[in-house]
Structure 1
Amino acid sequence: MNVPKLLLHRLFPNARYSLWVDAKLELVVDPIQILERFLWRKNASFAISRHYRRFDVFVEAEANKAAGKYDNASIDFQIDFYKKEGLTPYSAAKLPITSDVPEGCVIVREHIPITNLFTCLWFNEVDRFTSRDQISFSTVRDKIRLKTNYTINMFLDCERRNFVIQGYHRDLLEHWSPPPPPSVISNVHPSPPIVMVDGSLTKTSTNTSTSRPTKMVPTKRGKDRRWRRHRKIVIGSKNASTSNNFV
């Protein structure tokens, strides 16, 4: 896993720049914009994002042990070895270095001798101890800084989220089952029962706020519904014709 991540200059010797993005991420921005923002604008040859929460190697080691990322005894052995070589907890005395723990999922670099040397030494530490490259990053960086004026651009994790989005590994997606189809819920309710009250048909109300049944009043039939035509008599002269007396 760390061979293509840290030794890209060996795999692509003619490449001038490279951008490493973990498989769990998806690049959504033009790579040229990333080079301009994190390398050319900062006059840097190597850029990597800081860890979003931790900036001390000792805290990072304990977090890896708690999460079961690697064998605890191997992590303790690596930390003890680095302590004997001068590793100290992060403090304000290390400024302008802002963090000792990178995120590691995105690496932007220019393929020049100094960056190639840094990644080769970093790979040696990963191969010698644990595969948790966040633990060995600061040790390699500080050793090079003691002999050269080499600096690394460690940008904020929120800046990284501007050009990559979180994805999921393929093996995780294969184990996920598709969501079940939405169930069809029937909203059909039975009609209220019809009961006999005092010889009349009544229907119970479906409204829960009323407790008494509503009595159905029969409609009137017969003469009351029959349309009646009334003659209108117009008073006129006696000599008027009969047809003029009716309208």
Structure 2
Amino acid sequence: VPKLLLHRLFPKARYSLWVDAKLELAVDPIQILERFLWRKNASFAISRHYKRFDVFEEAEANKAAGKYDNASIDFQIEFYKNEGLTTYSTAKLPITSDVPEGCVIIREHIPISNLFTCLWFNEVDRFTSRDQISFSTVRDKIRSKTNYTINMFLDCERRNFVVQGYHRDLLEHWSPPPPPIITVNTSADTMLSNITPVRKVTARRAKERKSKRHRKVNTGSKD
């Protein structure tokens, strides 16, 4: 997962901003660093999941959606339970969530944040690629030995600086929209209302018209 090892891909970079391919950046990156790192005195920022806060719920959602092999997800969750993983509750405050939305990662490349992402990558490599499941375990292990904190901001804040797009492979498999359907009112009342009424010509009137057409007109002078 390259997004977790950007400090190795770009060893001379001081900051990095990872944005998934399905998103488009809509604001100046400096504004994002100022808002989520510098203003919060943080070296790592990631948005919370828009709906789920608990790792166990996230695991079940991944299984239901077929995101990964169910047996592998179950094995990972059982392993973390033995390591001390518990369901999320208010007892974990000031931690506001155990499940991140990993499509955007904002970070400063310093040793502690580099260590965090390396350990996170190790869990992804060891178990499943669903990085939301392993995030809180790595975070809590580091927090138990240091005062390291992560800025987990609201998902609605993330939507303020990125625009949702679609993966290329999804767009290629989309069929074009169907043509518009034009409805024609074929009811009997409508059809009758559009017909111009025809006058009935009686036999007597037809005879008079015929006689007028054949009447000779005398254009000569009278003696």
- The Cα shift of 1:149 comes to 0.5
CA RMSD of aligned residues (A): 2.2
TM alignment of 1:9-20, pairs within 5 A: 9-20=7-18
Look up the match of 2:188.
Answer: none
Verify: 1:120 aligned to 2:124, yes or no.
no
Separation of aligned partners in 2, 1:161 and 1:200: 85
Which of 32, 36, 40 is residue 42 of structure 1 equivalent to? Answer: 40
Verify: 1:6 aligned to 2:14, yes or no.
no
Look up the match of 2:63.
Answer: 65
Counterpart residue type for residue 69 of structure 1:
K
* Matched residues, number: 198
Look up the match of 2:216.
Answer: none
Which of the pair has more CA radius of gyration? Answer: 1
Look up the match of 2:196.
Answer: 192
Counterpart residue type for residue 26 of structure 2:
V
The structure richer in helix per residue is 2
Separation of aligned partners in 1, 2:120 and 2:156: 25
TM-score normalised by length of structure 1: 0.75
Give the 3 Å change call, closer, same or farther, for CA 181–135 of structure 1 in structure 2.
same
Q: Secondary structure at the match of 1:105?
A: strand
Deviations 1:147-204 (A, max 9, x none): 10000000000000000011000011111233355578899x8642524165699xxx
Give the 3 Å change call, closer, same or farther, for CA 81–194 of structure 1 in structure 2.
same
Look up the match of 1:136.
Answer: 134
Query: Any stretches of 5+ residues in structure 2 without a counterpart?
Result: 186-190, 206-223
Counterpart residue type for residue 50 of structure 1:
R
Counterpart residue type for residue 3 of structure 2:
K
Counterpart residue type for residue 192 of structure 1:
T
Look up the match of 2:220.
Answer: none
Q: Could you tell me the percent identity over the aligned residues?
A: 86
Query: Any stretches of 5+ residues in structure 1 without a counterpart?
Result: 202-247
Which of 108, 111, 117 is residue 109 of structure 2 equivalent to? Answer: 111
